[in-house]
């Protein structure tokens, strides 16, 4: 999988992709992540990428030309399955969407900034808009990092134990069951006996019951979704 990220502040994305699981995925050759500075594609002599809104009011708007030039440059080299724009009013990102994106070959993520992008970018250049929650960030870089992190760990071979991703919260519209590790008794706080029994069938049944009960108590809305 190849992911190209378009941003006006590439420095914000340097650290998230240079550590842990994402770094291992890149080192294994399973993932390519390329960060592009939109300013490099600006035809303005000062490399501006924003301007005032025609409607007036506070805040600047990202202009079309550098964004289109950046996207056209990337598309001239390869085909892309999705061109995603991070926006607070986009499709709410969830595990189902992460699963879908993990099956793609190539994608572009355009990070919003300022008051957003010229609407014509959204109408003519992007194929999908994604929000990571009902709140506003100073820019789409953190949202892009969240999307990439969530998607990359699902790519086969990235995690050391591929079954780990299959038991994550939300994979079956359920939260994960509680997990424990050694010691089995810490200051009188004990691990449930069933987990020490060695009976795989009973442990699985206990985990399924716990997952359902936790979901019903903490996130009942998940049980009502299709």
Phi, psi of 51, deg, nearest 5 = -155, 170
Q: What are 97-128's pLDDT values in tens digits?
A: 999 999 999 999 999 988 899 999 999 999 99
CA atoms within 13 A on the CB side of 35: 17
pLDDT at 162 over 70: no
pLDDT at 168 over 70: no
Class of domain 2-152: alpha beta
Residues 49 and 60: their CA atoms lie apart, in Å, by 10
CATH 1.10.1270.20 range(s) for the chain read 167-224
Confidence band, pLDDT 50/70/90 cuts, at residue 58: confident
**Model pLDDT, residue 143:** 97
Confidence band, pLDDT 50/70/90 cuts, at residue 161: low
pTM: 0.86
Pick the CATH number of 167-224 from 1.10.3720.10, 3.40.50.970, 1.10.1270.20, 3.40.50.9100: 1.10.1270.20
**Model pLDDT, residue 63:** 97
- Give the CA distances from residue 177 to residues 133, 185, 195, 216, in Å, rounded to whole numbers and listed in that order: 24, 19, 12, 12
**Model pLDDT, residue 57:** 80
- What is the average pLDDT across 16-25? 90
CATH 3.40.1280.10 range(s) for the chain read 2-152
């Amino acid at each position: 999988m190849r992911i190209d990220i378009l941003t006006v502040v590439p420095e914000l994305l340097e650290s998230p992709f240079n550590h842990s699981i994402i770094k291992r995925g890149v080192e294994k050759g399973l993932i390519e992540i390329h960060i592009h500075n939109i300013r490099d594609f600006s035809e303005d002599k000062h490399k501006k990428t924003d301007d005032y809104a025609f409607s007036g009011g506070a805040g600047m708007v990202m202009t079309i030309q550098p964004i289109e030039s950046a996207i056209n440059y990337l598309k001239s080299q390869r085909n892309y399955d999705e061109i995603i724009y991070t926006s607070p009013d986009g499709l709410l990102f969830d595990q189902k969407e992460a699963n879908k994106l993990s099956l793609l070959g190539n994608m572009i993520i355009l990070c919003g900034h300022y008051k957003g992008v010229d609407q014509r970018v959204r109408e003519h250049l992007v194929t999908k808009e994604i929000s990571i929650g009902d709140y506003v960030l100073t820019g789409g870089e953190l949202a892009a990092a969240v999307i990439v992190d969530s998607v990359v760990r699902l790519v086969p071979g990235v995690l050391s134990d591929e079954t780990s991703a299959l038991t994550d919260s939300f994979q079956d519209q359920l939260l994960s069951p509680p997990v424990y590790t050694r010691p089995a008794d810490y200051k009188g706080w004990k691990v449930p006996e069933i987990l020490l029994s060695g009976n795989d069938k009973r442990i699985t049944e206990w985990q399924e019951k716990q997952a359902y009960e936790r979901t019903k108590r903490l996130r009942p809305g998940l049980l009502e979704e299709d």
